[in-house]
């Protein structure tokens, strides 16, 4: 059997982290469609039999009917391909979800309960389940018992492999990889983690998000394509995102002014298709206001500037001086040690004060 495995498209995501540049969120939503169209074209060209979608196809909170119409239109382009969807925590199978109220087509099978369901095809059994709310504190994936069969056995699930609770105490279908591996599936198609794990040797795979949603998702994004029999197992990764998010470090130790820094940033060798976060490192010689610098940067590919520089001053040495600078340093240092200011506020106060002196 030949298959394509995708997950975490997040159609109609607001892309709030990209709002520093006008219309970039809208551009990324169009690029989502372009990536999805590439999947459909690949399936048609290669005569793929199965499409596995392991959750978070869209954003329940923001998705528009026009987007669902678009998805369905694409599904109709591959009517000979059987499509299986395992709803995730961002697109759960709930009462008012489009999964429950919209007709996606005869070739589309949507798992609709948090209990394990089984679809029996001629040469393959496909298992799956759905998020039926926006979190799932416990997983029942480990309860699956595979009967003896000459057929291939596939599992599709949106889950958190070896995961733990988030900051708010919620879990998202957590299960140990060792437990999942012991179930005996020929392939396990997962979603939820936005980075692929192609190095895995247990036939348990995340394809990652289909396009990057921001700077917390660096690297390549796309889909897993595979061919599988009882005797043969082969997978490959196909990139879908034409745009990458990258981070670049810039050492400011030899830069003497804001104007020089802006010129250095503008002289960086950047790929015009990609988006960049410039991380400033080293010891700074002047006060750096990243927000003001970003406003005057004319390169639209630079979305963020992060200041990770350190004070050039030797605080310990200055604090031991018996002069106005030493008194000032000791007073500010005491405030920091007493918890009256943050490290960033402490450094800023030192910097401004010493420059004024």
Query: pLDDT class for 158, splitting at 50, 70, 90?
Result: very high
Instruction: Indicate the fold that domain 2-239 takes in CATH.
Output: Purple Acid Phosphatase; chain A, domain 2 (3.60.21)
Cα–Cα distance measured from residue 257 to residue 324, given in angstroms and rounded to the nearest whole number: 26
pLDDT, tens digit (0-9, with 9 covering 90-100), for 194-243: 999 999 988 999 999 999 988 889 989 999 999 999 889 999 999 999 99
Helix 343-356 / helix 324-337 crossing angle, nearest 10 deg? 170
pLDDT, position 82: 98
pLDDT, position 345: 82
pLDDT, tens digit (0-9, with 9 covering 90-100), for 9-44: 999 998 876 766 667 788 889 999 999 999 999 999
Task: Assess whether pLDDT exceeds 80 at residue 139.
Answer: yes
Whole-number average pLDDT of the chain? 91
pLDDT, position 148: 81
Domain boundaries, the chain: 2-239, 245-356
Task: Assess whether pLDDT exceeds 80 at residue 185.
Answer: yes
């Amino acid at each position: 059997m030949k298959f394509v495995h995708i997950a975490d498209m997040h159609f109609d995501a607001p892309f709030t982290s990209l709002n520093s540049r006008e219309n970039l969120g809208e551009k990324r939503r169009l690029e989502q469609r372009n990536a999805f169209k590439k999947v459909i074209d690949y399936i048609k060209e290669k005569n793929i039999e199965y499409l596995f979608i392991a959750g978070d196809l869209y954003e329940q909170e923001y998705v528009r009917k026009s987007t669902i119409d678009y998805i369905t239109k694409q599904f109709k382009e591959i009517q000979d391909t059987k499509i299986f969807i395992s709803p995730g925590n961002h697109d759960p199978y709930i009462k008012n979800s489009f999964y429950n109220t919209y007709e996606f087509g005869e070739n589309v099978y949507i798992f609709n309960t948090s209990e394990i369901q089984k679809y029996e095809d001629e040469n393959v059994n496909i298992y799956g389940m759905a998020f039926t709310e926006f979190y799932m504190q416990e997983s029942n994936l480990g309860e699956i018992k595979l009967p003896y069969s000459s057929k291939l056995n596939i599992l599709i699930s949106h889950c958190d492999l070896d995961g733990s609770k988030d900051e708010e105490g919620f879990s998202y279908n957590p299960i140990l990889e060792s437990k999942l591996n012991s179930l005996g599936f020929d392939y396990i198609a997962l979603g939820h983690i936005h980075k692929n794990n192609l190095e895995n040797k247990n036939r348990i795979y995340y394809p990652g998000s289909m396009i990057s949603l921001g700077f917390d998702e660096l690297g390549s994004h796309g889909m897993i394509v595979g061919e599988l029999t009882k005797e043969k197992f082969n997978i490959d990764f196909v990139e879908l995102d034409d745009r990458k998010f990258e981070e670049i470090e810039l050492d400011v130790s030899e830069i003497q002014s804001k104007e020089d820094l802006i010129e250095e940033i503008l002289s960086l060798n950047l790929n015009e298709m990609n988006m960049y976060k410039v991380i400033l490192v080293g010891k700074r010689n002047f006060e750096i206001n990243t927000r003001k610098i970003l406003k005057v940067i004319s390169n639209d590919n630079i979305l963020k500037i992060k200041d990770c520089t350190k004070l050039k001053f030797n605080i310990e040495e200055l604090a031991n001086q018996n002069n106005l600078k030493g008194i000032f340093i000791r007073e500010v240092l005491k405030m920091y040690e007493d918890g009256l200011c943050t490290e960033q506020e402490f450094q800023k106060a030192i910097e401004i004060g010493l420059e004024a002196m």
